[in-house]
A and B are shown apart, each in its own frame.
Chain A
Amino acid sequence: MIFFTEAVQYLITGLLVGGVYALMSIGLALIFGVMRVMNFAQGDFLMLGMYVTYYFAAAGGVDPLLGSLLAAPLFFLVGVVVYRTLLVRLRKGRDPQREMDAQLIVTLGLSLLISNAALMTLSPTPRGLPSSYATTPFLVGPLLINQARSYAFLLAIILSVLVYAFLTRTDLGKAIRAATDDAEAAAYQGINVSRMHQVAFGIGIALAGTAGGLVATYHPITPTVGMDFIVLMFVAVVLGGLGSVFGAFLGGLLIGVVQSLTLLFFPLQLQNIAIFAVLLLTLYLKPRGLFGQRVREV
């Protein structure tokens, strides 16, 4: 019985954390789906989102949940600027495979640049948000439910649903999905594929920034925290199926649950071993993941 309560407790914690993982993974999946680029800097944009929310709260007294929402338009612009100044320049007249490699490597360079510049300008000392709900949990029967994580979870789910609605209900969203499915066919339908890349990259970065703000309500903030999260996002996106937004959402939730339930059986140090086992098993047994796009052969 005690074990059962404990298991439920871990399951709930996992789901709460997983909701935020889901939100950040959606951003990565959206970018990969449209541009076929694994954005290595996604974790670092998330880290910047944590700091932005932190400074909103520390300097302006903005509630971190509101702050993380305010970060969204800001990071959308950052994404568009990065796309226009950097990624679009790598698109001209190369064969597609090499173009993607170049974009991948640029995001890796961007990741190094952002995290180390943050290390230089912001101190490496961890910071935490002085929010009241980080410390007081809800009590539901025998279960303790972290308030900050609950709010972050709710907001993440709402935002995920909004993104999903945007992609399925609006013309712009449908155009992005068309460009994801088949860029060439989309171009023949009069869709400006390059603009879709730009919008998708902007939204992806905005989601990273917002997710960062939500994470900041319960996780210590350091300049190098992005590295921990990018690995989780990679696993979630692979598990869900590369390029599938819905898959990434489920992948994120599952990763949270796996990470949390591992603690029932293994010591804390081995927590992420289970995550990597999930990654390798998915790749080896079902490389297209739960909802991966069918990759055209030969």
Chain B
Amino acid sequence: MRRLRSLGTIALVIAATLALTLLLQERYHHRILTLVLLWATMGLAWNIISGYAGQISFGHQAFFGIGAYTTVLLILSVRLTPWAGMLVGAAAAAVAAIVIGVPTFRLGGIYFALATLAYPLIFRILMDFLGYQEVPIPLATSRPGFYMQFADPRAYDLLSLAVFAVTLLMSHWIENSRLGYSLRALKENQHVAEAMGVDTFRCKMVAYVLSAIPAALAGAIYAHAILFVVTPDAVFGIQVIVQTLVLSLVGGAGSKWGPVLGAALMVPVSETLDATIGDVLPGIHGVVYGLALILIMLFAPEGLYWRGHALLRRRHAAPGSGRRGIAAPSSPSRPVRATAVGGPLLEVAGVSVSFLGLRAVADVSFSVAPGEILGIIGPNGAGKTTLFNALNGFLASARGTVRFRGERIDGLAPNAICRRGIGRTFQVPRTFAHLSVVENVMVGAFARERHRGPARELALQALAFVGLESHADRPPVGLTTLDLRLLELSRCVATGADLILLDEPLAGLSRDGVTAILGLIGRLRAAGFTVLLIEHTIRALLQIADRLVVLDHGSLIAAGLPGDVTKNPLVIEAYLGRRWLRHVETLRT
């Protein structure tokens, strides 16, 4: 429904632009329209990697320039029509995105941004050095259309509109696809996204390539419609990225409408200013851009589109009842996986983790049978969470072997481990704050379902299983600790995991909350899940665990049935200290 309405708006915008193309008379107005469309395309392109995925690129003009230079140099060297040259340029930009992306996406945050800054500056210097300081597009006397040279400015409007429309539709598709959800999740928290089965590196690479292609097409058209003489500064220069950044941020990053809105507002203003008082006041357009950036950060840092969106939503928001539905006893659907008959589900052998010489986990071995609830206990700092981090792939430096259903999984990336059927929760619940509750769970569901509709079904099912379906469409901000833990659990269930690692699921809960979670863990087992859970209070575990494993200072000091483990002197010492142990012994004798 929402998607259809969005498609309707896209059709409306395209139709309105078409009408404008026909209505506008003056050549100058057509120039502005072309510029709005090209910069909107550039903004949409940037928004894919920096808005959706949150990887701020300060060097997106690299692709704009590659598109422009490739097209024009191909005309000059082999007389290739820019219609084909443009596609070669787009392909070159895609290759460049892969070459730049592979080393650069290992960097996060400001490091990524600074690295991307370097590339267009390098290209600019290279173009200068190679003697392409000024490359005029040769005037086509015969077949001008073949060389993308039109006397009628409407042709450039339409050409720009076509590229713009394709980019807008692509953005729309991304927003509603598994890729889009994955990007938004990794923008919020890369580690959690990985643990929920998102191959973050691959998603970022795909997004980068998808954002390089429209940038290159926009650059190629810009060269023909606006520049006529291509210079390194005009296509690789700082002002290209400044223009892109300003209009995307003013309009609002993270939505396809942000850059469109920003371009429609900012480009006509700057063009008009340049045309009217630009001679007297060179730089007026830069001053206006600078002010716009500062004002938008002060008063609507998320951008105009999101500000408007929030206002509209507030007006339409119905006073929804936050009442929880009755916990449905329905068991969530689970994928059918071949199980090695008889063997343990998880086999941990000699796992060690060291941090700068400190052994946080030392040579730990145990196994988990299918359908079992295994508790891991130990005092603070015993290495429990570190062990989980080693099991789900967060700690690549962990040594030892881990087998899941007989297959070795140590050394695999967290997303691969998740997709093999191991889900986890976190000691402090970690949700994707800017995704709704059901969207949070959908990120998990996408680990086993490519399409949005079925993924949403799976997510709702998982929410119903934990009794959180009435909160589906609200943001996770403001949920109680219990609800946050339920949300994490349902996200985990939605991945289709067979084995669920729960990291202190009872921490910070009231007695009712503890009862609710313990009940849920029982239902997880009834539904066929295997559970491995960490607690440092033994009492809660005694009620539910089939077996206990005790860690102290990183080593496994006891394992077995709960009744035996709690009588083990080593365990009592670890928990209560030597003096207390002596006290207990004197009582016994």
A contact residues vs B (CB 8 Å cutoff): 38, 86, 89-90, 94-95, 98, 101-102, 104-106, 108-120, 124, 223, 227, 231, 234, 238, 242, 267, 269-270, 272-273, 276, 279-280, 283-284, 287, 298
* Pairs A–B under 8 Å by Cβ, sample size 20: A38-B110, A101-B56, A106-B298, A108-B293, A109-B292, A109-B297, A112-B242, A112-B289, A112-B293, A113-B294, A120-B287, A242-B111, A270-B125, A276-B122, A279-B114, A280-B115, A283-B104, A298-B191, A298-B389, A298-B394
Q: Which residues of A contact B298 (CB under 8 A)?
A: 86, 89-90, 106
The stretch of B134-142, B277-285, B489-497, B544-552 that contacts the partner chain: B277-285
Q: Are A116 and B286 in contact (CB under 8 A)?
A: yes
B contact residues vs A (CB 8 Å cutoff): 56, 103-104, 106-107, 110-111, 113-115, 117-118, 121-122, 125-126, 128-129, 191, 238, 242, 245-246, 249, 281-287, 289-294, 297-298, 301, 389, 394, 433
Q: Which residues of A contact B118 (CB under 8 A)?
A: 276, 279-280
Q: Give Cα distance in the complex from A298 to B427, angstroms.
A: 12
Q: Are A112 and B114 in contact (CB under 8 A)?
A: no
Q: A113-B287, A227-B238, A238-B114 are in contact. Are A120 and B281 (CB under 8 A)?
A: yes
Q: Are B103 and A105 in contact (CB under 8 A)?
A: no
> Which residue of the partner chain, among A110, A120, A231, A269, contacts B129 with CB atoms under 8 Å?
A269
Apart from A105-B249, A272-B125, A283-B115, 20 more pairs, CB < 8 Å: A38-B113, A90-B298, A104-B110, A106-B297, A110-B290, A112-B286, A112-B293, A113-B286, A116-B289, A117-B287, A118-B283, A119-B282, A227-B238, A234-B117, A267-B129, A273-B122, A273-B126, A276-B118, A279-B115, A283-B107
Q: Are B245 and A116 in contact (CB under 8 A)?
A: no
Q: Which residues of B contact A124 (CB under 8 A)?
A: 282
Q: Which residues of A contact B110 (CB under 8 A)?
A: 38, 104, 242
Closest residue of chain B to A269, judged by CB?
Answer: B129
Q: A119-B282, A267-B129, A298-B394 are in contact. Are A106 and B117 (CB under 8 A)?
A: no
Closest residue of chain B to A288, judged by CB?
Answer: B111
Q: Give Cα distance in the complex from A38 to B115, angstroms.
A: 13
> Which residue of the partner chain, among A98, A101, A110, A276, contacts B121 with CB atoms under 8 Å?
A276
Q: Give Cα distance in the complex from A276 to B292, angstroms.
A: 30
Q: Which residues of A contact B114 (CB under 8 A)?
A: 38, 234, 238, 279, 283
Closest residue of chain A to B106, judged by CB?
Answer: A284
The 10 A-B pairs of least Cβ separation, nearest first, read A109-B293, A116-B286, A113-B290, A112-B290, A119-B283, A116-B283, A109-B294, A276-B118, A116-B287, A109-B290
Q: Which residues of A contact B113 (CB under 8 A)?
A: 38
Q: Are A120 and B284 in contact (CB under 8 A)?
A: yes
Q: Which residues of A contact B121 (CB under 8 A)?
A: 231, 272, 276
Q: Give Cα distance in the complex from A109 to B129, angstroms.
A: 31
Q: Are A284 and B125 in contact (CB under 8 A)?
A: no
Chain B nearest CB from A276 CB (Å) reads: 4
Closest residue of chain A to B298, judged by CB?
Answer: A89
Closest residue of chain B to A285, judged by CB?
Answer: B103
Q: Give Cα distance in the complex from A260 to B281, angstroms.
A: 37
Q: Give Cα distance in the complex from A23 to B242, angstroms.
A: 27
Q: Which residues of A contact B128 (CB under 8 A)?
A: 269
Closest residue of chain B to A280, judged by CB?
Answer: B118
